[in-house]
Structures are given as C-alpha cells and as structure tokens.
Amino acid sequence: MVFMKEKATSFDIAHLAGVSQSTVSRALNNSPLVNQETRDRVQRIARDLNYKVDKNASNLRKQKSSTIALLLFEDPTSDDSMINPFFLAMLGSITRACAQANYDLLVSFQNLDDDWHAEYEDSNKADGIILLGYGDYTDYQNKVAQLESQGTHFVRWGAPDEAHPGVSIGCDNYQGGQSITSHLIGLGKTSFAFIGDNGDHAPEFKARFNGYFETLQSHGLDQSSVQRNAISTEDAGSEAVKSLLQSGELPQAIVCASDLIAMGVLRALRQAKVNVPDDVAVVGYDNIAVSAYTTPSLTTVQQNTKLAGELLVNTLLKAINNEDVQDYLMPADIIIRQSCGSE
C-alpha cells in the first residue's frame, strides 16, 4: 500500500508506474492501446492512492487546444538546422495559415519511437498533426498506420499512398519528372543520368524517376540512361557524379531528384573541370532559395510551397472539424536557369 499526504494526481500515478500521463489516462479508461499488464499496474496504483478522476479537468481536456503540431523529419544538412531547406520555405506558409485561422503552431522533430497520438492529440497539446518529411518510407508507413488506427487528425506532405488512406498534400512528381526531361530532350540532349533513389524507400524520388524514364522511353532514349542512388544531400550528389566520372559514363544531361543533390553534382563537376552547361547540363528539383545563386544558377522544378502550406493547414482544420477531406496533387513548374544552357 502506498500512502500520500495530499490528494493524488495522474502525475503521481505516472511516476510510480513508470509511464507517461497520457498512458495513465488511457489505462484508466481501459484503452486497448495500452497493454493489459500496464493497465493493471496503473489501475492498481490508482486504487492504492485512492485516486479519483477530476471530471471537470477531464472535460476540459476534451476541448480543442487551438494548436496544430508540426512534426519535421530530422534531415542531414550542411549546417546545424537539421531541416531540409525545402521544408523551411513551407514553414513560413504554414505559420501564416495557422495565424489566419487563430491557431498556434507547435513545431518539433519526429521521433519514430514516440506515440505521436498520445504525445499531442491525446494529451491535448494539439488538435491535429502535420507531418513533413521522413527517412525510410517503409519505416514511416508504420507510424502513419498507427495514427490512422488511433483516429488521429493528421495530414502529411507527400505522395498519396493507396495502402494508407490518410490524407496527403503533395506535388505531381511524375509530371515534374516528365516536364524537366522533355525540356532537356528539346535542347537536343541524347544521353542521361538520374541521381536519386528510385525505390520504395523514397516514393517522391521514385515518381520523379518514373516520369523521367518513361519520357526517355517515349523518345527511344531509355537505353542511353544510367542511374545512381543518392539521398537528398550535397555530399551524396557529389559522390554519385564522381562514380559516373570514374566509370566513364558522364552523360550530356544529369537529372537530380533534389536541388541539394544537384548542388553536390555541380561542386564535383567544377572540381573535375567539367563545364556546366557546355559539357553537361544539370537540373534539380524543389527550387529551394539557394538554387538561384549556384554557379551556374540551377534549372529546377518548382513545388508551390506557399500553396502547400495553406493546403496542409486548411485540410487539417477541416479534418479536425469532421469535414470531408481528400488528397491533393499540385502541378509542378519548370524554372529555367543557366545550368542547362537555355537561359
């Protein structure tokens, strides 16, 4: 028997049970999301402490917090921000959209080990969650499935996934891959390389690759294509193009799955005394701010970050209010600069 001098709280139970307060709340409500052993332990401690649920506080917790949680994936970056520059651009739009809706924005990094529903919506820290970015999509899928099973209000940036009907807002990456490749073919390029992962671990990159490769196929140029895997960092892009140089496979045009990859490609080609765009054209994807200031300036595919941020927030608010919501694919636009030789 545990004796306490003052009225027990859920914090006391959480401390003694070695669990979070949200887990205590679930256990006391016999939630199936808490395993039986933990439920029994929490309920036993509650009885020992003569704990009584504060109905007023419980009702208060069920009210809306007027806060949205934004969970960012921690990306490897050349600085200490650990935030993909593409998402930094979107962050401003999300912040403005929240302010216009009189919502606060709580920003944090994703942790795959955390229970996001318990951490944010169940604890009343936030009414819903926006997800930006992921590492390995095959791992990320499990978290999305968990959120769906828990009834969490959430929306994610990325490609629609038929296996998981959670709502997504994204860009038509296939069309973007098509458009940028068609542009290069129109410039007379006949040999190509794609740098970026084209497997299931990165669905956006895969869609860009598919748009690229099927465009080459339609022009009878697919046999001229080589591919190198790379994550979205400058170093990965640099190493990939060094591999092409060493194997003697340097093509007339290099299509990169992101601007960060393309920046690494430009750096490695410059070090190898390969002229861009005279010797090889290079294009990126995302139109991050710095892409206009590379040497040469980078031709790229633009995703409308302003519209994306507004759609993410407005779609989530509709979901919170139990309105019908659906996936949305934005069109991609080409931004032509010096790196493909046509500006």
- Report residue 20's pLDDT band, with 50, 70 and 90 as the boundaries: confident
Whether residue 108 is predicted with pLDDT greater than 90 in this model: the reply is no
Cα-Cα end-to-end distance for the chain: 79
Give the C-alpha separation, 80 to 58, whole Å.
40
Whether residue 242 is predicted with pLDDT greater than 70 in this model: the reply is yes
Whether residue 295 is predicted with pLDDT greater than 90 in this model: the reply is yes
SS (H, E, C) the chain: CCCCCCCCCHHHHHHHHCCCHHHHHHHHCCCCCCCHHHHHHHHHHHHHCCCCCCHHHHHHHCCCCCEEEEEECCCCCCCCCCCCHHHHHHHHHHHHHHHHCCCEEEEEECCCCCCHHHHHHHCCCCCEEEEECCCCHHHHHHHHHHHHHCCCCEEEECCCCCCCCCCEEEECHHHHHHHHHHHHHHCCCCCEEEECCCCCCCHHHHHHHHHHHHHHHHCCCHHHEEEECCCCCHHHHHHHHHHHHHHCCCCCEEEECCHHHHHHHHHHHHHCCCCCCCCCEEECCECCHHHHHCCCCCEEEECCHHHHHHHHHHHHHHHHCCCCCCCEEECCEEECCHHHCCC
> 67-171+304-330: what fold?
Rossmann fold (3.40.50)
What are the residue ranges of CATH 1.10.260.40 in the chain?
Answer: 10-61
> Could you read off the pLDDT of 134-156 as tens digits, one per residue?
766 766 777 777 788 778 899 99
Provide the whole-model pTM: 0.77
Whether residue 284 is predicted with pLDDT greater than 90 in this model: the reply is yes
Name the CATH architecture for the domain at 10-61: Orthogonal Bundle (1.10)
Q: What is the pLDDT of residue 116?
A: 75
What are the residue ranges of CATH 3.40.50.2300 in the chain?
Answer: 67-171+304-330, 173-303+335-340
Percent of the chain with pLDDT over 90: 57
Q: What is the pLDDT of residue 341?
A: 84
Q: What is the pLDDT of residue 122?
A: 72
Burial of 27 (0-12, 13-18, 19+ CB in 10 A): buried
According to the per-residue pLDDT averaged within each range, which of 99-113, 272-286, 316-330 is highest? Answer: 272-286
Name the CATH architecture for the domain at 173-303+335-340: 3-Layer(aba) Sandwich (3.40)
